[in-house]
Structure 1
Amino acid sequence: MALRACGLIIFRKLRESSTLPSSAATLGSNIEYLLLQTSYGTHHWTPPKGHVDPGEDDLQTALRETQEEAGLDTSQFTILEGFKKELNYTVRSKPKTVIYWLAELKDNNAEIRLSSEHQAFRWLTLNEACELAGYQDMQAAIREAHQFLSSRA
């Protein structure tokens, strides 16, 4: 049976600098993504996510894991309709499915409180997030989220 995990790609919009031209080239340059660094294994960077508990649906899992791993509860972000990304890969010879939703932080200064599963967090631009994420499928998910946000601007 495949392992199943769910999480949120959380972003925040910074105020646009008045010095930036409002061209398509800078579209989305004011968006930062939250990545957490694991305190185990290879210390990889990932959005908050975790395994589905018995009796839980996928979205409940994503919300619970975000609360546990980043200290953010549902009142602190808005899940965007229309974006859901499923990643499928193999971990220790077992198939794994991870589903992400996209969520916007309401208060850019909200405190991130890490669980013992993580040792650091960063707010990152698209390129920084892709660089730190490392895994190609995670990079693709962040890029798709960014494209989704840009298409709504």
Structure 2
Amino acid sequence: MSRLQAAGLVIFRYTNQMVQFLLLQTSYGEHHWTPPKGHVDPGEDDWTTALRETQEEAGLTKNDLEIYKDVTKTLEYYVNNKRKYVVYWLAQMKNPETKVTLSDEHQDFKWLGLKEAQDLSGFADMKQMLAEFNDSALKLVK
């Protein structure tokens, strides 16, 4: 069985005394909601992929973000009978008002508090990761 590898950033902003997560809605398939992420290209490492995909999908560069490389989680699940690994890092918007610019891969985006982000994501492993990253984000902004 072959394996798929992807990487991305779970981006948050701290505004009005609240952590809000950025979720993007795909313009294909079931129009699910996820943080910016994508497949690792041949010869590319996870970190490079996460930065590239975030810029492509949300228009955000590493200069827009404070990235916490020590706050990371890998999700594993199956897609079309292939095991998929997605590594995520936590990142904070340096300026909460920086504009998100979507690619044609996505049709909408939202900034959401933890519960709303968990509800919209719909997947148990994503809900758990968001909870863990929320705890980390709250420690970082205090």
Short-chain TM bin: over 0.9
The aligned amino acid for 1:148 is S
SS in 1 for 2:21: strand
Report the CA distance between 1:126 and its aligned residue.
Answer: 0.4
The aligned amino acid for 1:32 is Q
> d(CA) in 2 for partners of 1:142 and 1:15?
19
The aligned amino acid for 2:119 is E
Report the CA distance between 1:148 and its aligned residue.
Answer: 1.7
Report the CA distance between 1:55 and its aligned residue.
Answer: 1.1
Partner residue of 2:10?
9
2:79 to 69, 77, 91: 91
> d(CA) in 1 for partners of 2:109 and 2:28?
14
Cα RMSD after superposing both structures: 1.0
Moved over 6 A (4+): none
Q: Deviations over 1:55-96 (max 9, x none)?
A: 111010000000000000111001014211000000011100
SS in 1 for 2:55: helix
The aligned amino acid for 1:79 is I
Partner residue of 2:48?
60
Q: Within 5 A, what are the aligned runs for 1:1-153?
A: 1-16=2-17, 30-152=18-140, 153=142
Instruction: Work out the number of aligned pairs and report it.
Output: 140
Q: With structure 2 as the length reference, what TM-score do the two structures score? A: 0.95
For structure 2, the 5+ residue unaligned runs are none
The aligned amino acid for 1:65 is E
For structure 1, the 5+ residue unaligned runs are 17-29
Structure with the largest fraction of strand: 2
Q: Deviations over 1:131-153 (max 9, x none)?
A: 00011111111111012223443
SS in 2 for 1:5: strand
The aligned amino acid for 2:79 is V
Q: With structure 1 as the length reference, what TM-score do the two structures score? A: 0.88
> d(CA) in 2 for partners of 1:112 and 1:3?
27
SS in 2 for 1:139: helix
